[in-house]
């Protein structure tokens, strides 16, 4: 449930997205990714939603970031929002000195960030005076190609801020063309301790991906239902065929459940964040995949074309399923955390 302020935010972001996209994942004519990002930051202040007002943000929290992530996710707006907003959430809870240095730039959208958490990374931290160095390679860094700042670390450790200029960033070609990835290599890169916990950041990103997935899945269902109400075959609207109606009803059940589950992850307290975020990302990404796959099937041949929007959702769904914990990894993690062994 949205508060009235969140409902207003949702509408503003939805209108913004409508103006800036030609179709899901595709920017409108005369609009670039850079100009969209600038307006999204300058006019709407989205990167700073969860950043305190004294650092130039809006003073909201994860719930507001989730509202924005859902609306951007509904249309697959190709901007590095999720990771940058996450950095705002994470850094606000860490070192205050560093927060004062980094948050204003993040809030203005001048700095874009990405989370580079990988078991391959090692950190040498010589304490407050000695500085820190990060070494190793992080693969599949989401929103990594555009990032000017990395929050790097190993999953069980703390996060360190590294400027992109101090790392080797290799953008990767991606299945989902609306969201970038990079392989980021740190060769004793100069780093500053943020004090923030890497595991918590991963959980928060999973919660946001869950929220985004639930919203995108709902959009897939809406578009599909709309098509079934207009497409005619055998002299009748195909939405009247029970075989198709029942599949939409099943999706409605799943999407309703996914929304509630994502909301629980966004609202989770510290004690239950890890397990709730893991199960929410697992469940919601699976629902998203199912919705996108059904979107293609129920559209028939047109759904298989490049021109149609369905494939963009399908690719985002598969990407979301496999990053930040595959279904198998998350299922095992949830089983462990819930003591089901």
Partner 1 sequence: MAETTGAAQFRAEIRRWLADNLTGEFAPLVGRGGPGWEHELVAERLAWERRLGQGRLIGLGWPASDGGRGLPWSWQAIFHEEYARAGGPGRTGHMGEQLLGPALLAFGTPEQKARFLPGILSGTQVWCQGYSEPGAGSDLAAVATRAELRDGQWHLHGQKVWTSLAHIADWCFVLARTAPQARRHRGLSYLLVPMRQPGVTVRPIVQLTGTSEFNEVFFDDARTDAGAMIGAPGDGWRVAMGTLGVERGASTIGLQAGFSRQFEDVLATARRAGTIGQPDIAARITDAWIGLQVMRYTVAAIAGEPDEPGTQPGAAPDRVAPGTEPSIAKLLWATWHQRLGELAADASGPDATLAGPGYELPGAQRLLLFTRADTIYGGSNEIQRNIIAERGLGLPRG
Residue ranges in contact with partner 1 by CB under 8 A: 1-2, 4, 7-8, 10-11, 218, 221, 225, 228-229, 237, 239-242, 245-246, 248-250, 252-253, 255-257, 259-261, 263-264, 267, 276, 279, 282-283, 331-332, 334-335, 338, 340-341
C-beta atoms surrounding 42 within 10 Å: 12
Closest CB 242 distance from partner 1, rounded Å: 5
Residue nearer to partner 1 on the CB measure, 33 or 257: 257
Closest CB 61 distance from partner 1, rounded Å: 15
Residue nearer to partner 1 on the CB measure, 32 or 326: 326
Nearest-Å Rg of the Cα atoms of the chain is 20
Closest CB 298 distance from partner 1, rounded Å: 11
**Which strand (E) or helix (H) includes residue 123?**
strand 122-125
- Residues with Cβ within 8 Å of 237's Cβ and at least 6 positions away in sequence, in order, are 228, 229, 230, 231
Closest CB 2 distance from partner 1, rounded Å: 6
Could you tell me the CA-to-CA distances from 113 to 72, 83, 108, 271, 298 in Å, in that order?
A: 17, 6, 12, 26, 38
Closest CB 305 distance from partner 1, rounded Å: 24
Residue nearer to partner 1 on the CB measure, 165 or 338: 338
Closest CB 229 distance from partner 1, rounded Å: 7
DSSP type of residue 148 = S
Task: Answer yes or no: are the C-beta atoms of 287 and 217 closer than 8 Å.
Answer: yes
Longest Cα–Cα distance of the chain, Å, equals 77
Residue nearer to partner 1 on the CB measure, 85 or 258: 258
The CA angle 61-64-66, to the nearest 5 degrees, is 110
237: left (phi over 0), alpha (psi -120 to 50) or beta: beta
Ramachandran angles phi, psi of 329, nearest 5°: -65, -45
Residue nearer to partner 1 on the CB measure, 196 or 268: 268
Closest CB 204 distance from partner 1, rounded Å: 18
Residue nearer to partner 1 on the CB measure, 187 or 240: 240
Residue nearer to partner 1 on the CB measure, 23 or 256: 256
How far is residue 280 CA from its own chain's centroid?
A: 13
């Amino acid at each position: 449930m949205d508060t009235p302020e969140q409902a207003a935010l949702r509408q503003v972001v939805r209108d913004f997205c409508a103006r800036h996209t030609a179709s899901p994942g595709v920017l409108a004519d005369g609009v670039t990714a850079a100009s969209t990002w600038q307006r999204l930051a300058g006019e709407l202040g989205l990167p700073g939603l969860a950043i305190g007002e004294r650092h130039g943000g809006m003073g909201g929290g994860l719930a507001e970031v989730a509202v924005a992530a859902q609306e951007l996710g509904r249309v697959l707006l190709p901007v590095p929002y999720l990771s940058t907003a996450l950095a705002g959430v994470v850094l606000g809870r860490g070192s205050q000195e560093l927060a004062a240095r980094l948050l204003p730039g993040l809030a203005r959208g001048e700095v874009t960030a990405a989370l580079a958490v990988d078991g391959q990374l090692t950190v040498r931290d010589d304490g407050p005076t000695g500085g820190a160095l990060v070494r190793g390679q992080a693969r599949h860094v989401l929103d990594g190609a555009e990032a000017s700042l990395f929050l790097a670390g190993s999953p069980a450790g703390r996060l360190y801020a590294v400027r992109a200029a101090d790392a080797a960033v290799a953008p990767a070609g991606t299945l989902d063309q609306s969201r970038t990835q990079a392989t980021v290599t740190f060769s004793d890169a100069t780093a500053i301790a943020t004090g923030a916990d890497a595991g918590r950041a991963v959980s928060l990103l999973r919660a946001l991906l869950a929220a985004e997935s639930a919203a995108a899945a709902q959009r897939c269902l809406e578009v599909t239902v709309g098509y079934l109400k207009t497409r005619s075959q055998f002299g009748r609207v195909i939405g009247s065929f029970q075989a198709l109606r029942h599949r939409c009803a099943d999706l409605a059940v799943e999407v309703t459940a996914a929304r509630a589950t994502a909301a629980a992850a966004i609202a989770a307290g510290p004690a239950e964040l890890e397990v709730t975020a893991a199960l929410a990302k697992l469940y919601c990404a699976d629902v998203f995949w199912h919705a996108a796959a059904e979107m293609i099937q129920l559209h028939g041949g047109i759904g298989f074309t490049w021109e149609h929007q369905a494939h963009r959702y399908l690719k985002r769904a598969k990407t979301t399923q496999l990053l930040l914990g595959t279904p198998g990894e998350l299922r095992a993690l949830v089983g462990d955390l819930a003591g089901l062994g």
